[in-house]
Amino acid sequence: MRLGNFPETLKYAKKVYRAIRKEALSPQLVEILAMMGHASCWLGNYEKGYQYLDEAEQKLKSLADISEESRNLLQSMIYIGNNCGHMQQGKSDLLYEDELLSLLEGIADTFVLAEMYYQLGSLYTFIRIDIDLAIKYSYKCQHLVEKLGNNTLAAINLTTIGCIYIMTGDLEKALFYHEEASKKNNTVMIEMGIFNNLSMIYSQKGELDKALESLNKAFELANKVNATYILMSTLASMIEVLVLMGKNEIAEEYLIKLKEICEKEKNPFAELYANFCEGFILKTKNRIQDRAKAQSIFEEIVKQDVISGELTMKALINLCDLLVEEFRFTAELEVLEELNLLLEKLINIAKSQNSFWILAETYLLQAKFALLKGDLNSARKKLTEAQDLADKNNLKLLGEKISYEHDKILQNLNVWESLIENEAPIKERIELAELNVHIENMLFNRKFSLEISEEDPVIILIITEGGTPLFSHSFIKEKKFETQIISGFLTTIDYFIKETFSQGLDRAVFGEYTLLMKYLKPFYITYIFSGNSYYAHQRINYFTESLKKQDIIWEKFMINCEKGKSIHLNDIPLLESLITNTFVYKNVELNQPI
């Protein structure tokens, strides 16, 4: 069991069970039933596994003369076995998350503790989606399994860590951890998962040949062990990659294989995967009737109740792509309204699936549709919402992309205002918004490459809610220049506070400079800089959080605020150090990929 050899676990556990089942009720009987249940679930025999685990649960309740420590250990083993089956079956509503968390502190058995950490790490990676907790528990597990020498648990846990990096966009680390998992792995099921994940990584890197090679390996293994669900999903992924490579004829051959599985298995999921792949192929063709049929297929998938959230989201994104093309040629506002309804549906599904990457991308897409309608404030509000979501969930690459898009809109404000005022053709607006490029990135999940440089700081300002300057520090030497900027900004402070913040925005342009603003009751903190805003945004977040945590600084600000007295940098040495390290030397740790 502790070496991860589940067939052998079951073989010997059954012998023990047969030997002791007629004897008096004992902790050993509960333990062996829990092991049999876990091993059966791992090997895919869920019905039998749950029977063993239910029996273990009932016998544990009947045990009277047992220490609390032993009871907690046996209870943890039962929860772990059930979770193993429920996770593999996608039963997210039946997981024992709270129970595992409540038992963690009382478990002294290193192996059981490692399994609990693994399951919690997987839970927060794939189901509850909390990147910080996912990495916390996954690394705790890895620390323990390295000591235990359990290659099976090490391999599957490394795969989870690799998936975390796929989610955050750090593909090189994702690749590294999957390769490390492959070195330790000794089971076919994990190997299939590794190859499927590698195909995702290679696809996002644009290395489609390698993606297809990985999928072929997964397909061969799925055939060997007759894993129908994995066979079906792998075939669907192969078809998508082949279409991206422009190899539609081969993709159609694989589609025939997928349809044969549908016919044989009578599986509704297999049928929907096959329909999606058919639509994906048809969508690439030039004939109007083919694209119309593709649209009909995607619409039918979206209506289904039994489909997975991931496939529904993919169908919705493909529908958006088709409708954008239609809108481009017809300029019918009715099409735009239909697009907005699809995006709302996509947002709802992404929220329910905790798919934060898709959610943030959809907010960004909504921002671009707002631009088409000439609603610049709504566009910027959606960008702010997308930025907050990406930052909160540590999606660094996506955060860079959103910040880049926001900068571009601010830089092109005059152009957009001119297009709107002159009622420029929709086609011209679509090209400026780069809608097709954005949807293509969402469809193919391609890694985008941006060159985000550090900003040049100009001034940091802290102003009271009443609009009184409490603190200002200039990073430039020309005093005349500094005075012009500060005085110019202060004359429009009411506008920025009332207009910018009231509309849910966090930045504005001031001549050739960008202003980033944060509200920290009772202060408005404003950072004026030139250049890209991504790192500036991270820096003002760090500075704001640090102000709250530094009691000496905070108390001084509150006292001076009450007295209406301004603060100078040399009044608070800690403040000077914080500002210098954050904005000048830039040597503080900002949000980084894990």
- Regarding whether 438 and 317 lie in a shared domain, the answer is yes
- Regarding whether 437 and 316 lie in a shared domain, the answer is yes
Residues 556/565, Cβ–Cβ less than 8 Å: no
- Regarding whether 551 and 470 lie in a shared domain, the answer is yes
- Which residues fall within 8 angstroms of residue 319, CB to CB, at 6 or more apart? 295, 298, 299, 302, 342
Six-digit token string for 320:
């958006």
Looking at residue 415, what is its pLDDT?
85
User: Considering 76, 108, 140, which residue would you say is the last residue of a domain?
Assistant: 108
- Residue 231 belongs to a domain: no
Looking at residue 594, what is its pLDDT?
36
- One pLDDT digit (tens) per residue for the chain, 594 residues: 887 788 899 999 999 999 998 887 899 999 999 999 999 998 888 999 999 999 999 999 999 889 999 999 999 999 999 999 988 776 777 889 999 999 999 899 999 999 999 999 999 988 877 888 999 999 999 999 988 888 889 999 999 999 998 888 788 899 999 999 999 988 887 898 899 999 989 988 888 999 999 999 999 988 887 767 778 888 999 999 999 899 999 999 999 999 988 888 776 777 888 999 999 999 999 888 999 999 999 999 888 755 567 788 889 989 988 988 888 788 787 888 888 889 998 898 888 777 788 888 889 888 888 888 888 888 888 998 999 888 888 777 788 888 888 888 888 888 888 888 888 777 777 777 777 677 767 766 555 556 778 899 998 989 888 778 889 888 887 655 555 566 666 666 656 666 666 677 788 887 788 888 888 888 889 898 999 898 998 899 899 989 988 899 999 999 988 888 889 888 888 999 999 999 998 887 775 433
Q: For every residue of 553-588, which 3-state class applies, written as one string?
A: HHHHHHHHHHHCCCECHHHCHHHHHHHHHHHHCCCC
- Residue 205 belongs to a domain: no
- Residue 279 belongs to a domain: no
What CATH number is attached to the domain comprising 562? 3.30.450.60
User: Considering 419, 444, 469, which residue would you say is the last residue of a domain?
Assistant: 444
- Regarding whether 464 and 438 lie in a shared domain, the answer is no
What's the Cα-to-Cα distance from 243 to each of 126, 131, 269, 282, rounded to whole Å?
Answer: 27, 32, 21, 10
What's the Cα-to-Cα distance from 219 to each of 40, 174, 213, 248, 546, rounded to whole Å?
Answer: 24, 21, 10, 19, 51
User: Considering 403, 423, 444, which residue would you say is the last residue of a domain?
Assistant: 444
Task: Provide the whole-model pTM.
Answer: 0.74
Which residue from 317, 515, 541 is spatially nearest to 406, judged by alpha carbons?
515
**204/559 Cα distance (integer angstroms):** 53
Q: Between β-strands 469-474 and 456-464, what pairing exists: parallel, antiparallel or unpaired? A: antiparallel
- Residue 194 belongs to a domain: no
- Regarding whether 66 and 40 lie in a shared domain, the answer is yes
Structural domain span for residue 465: 456-584
- Residue 132 belongs to a domain: no
- Regarding whether 383 and 466 lie in a shared domain, the answer is no
Report which DSSP code applies to 393: T
- Regarding whether 435 and 494 lie in a shared domain, the answer is no
- Residue 154 belongs to a domain: no
- Regarding whether 467 and 381 lie in a shared domain, the answer is no
- Regarding whether 485 and 379 lie in a shared domain, the answer is no
- Regarding whether 357 and 475 lie in a shared domain, the answer is no
- Residue 22 belongs to a domain: yes
- Regarding whether 430 and 469 lie in a shared domain, the answer is no
- Residue 134 belongs to a domain: no
Length of the chain, in residues? 594
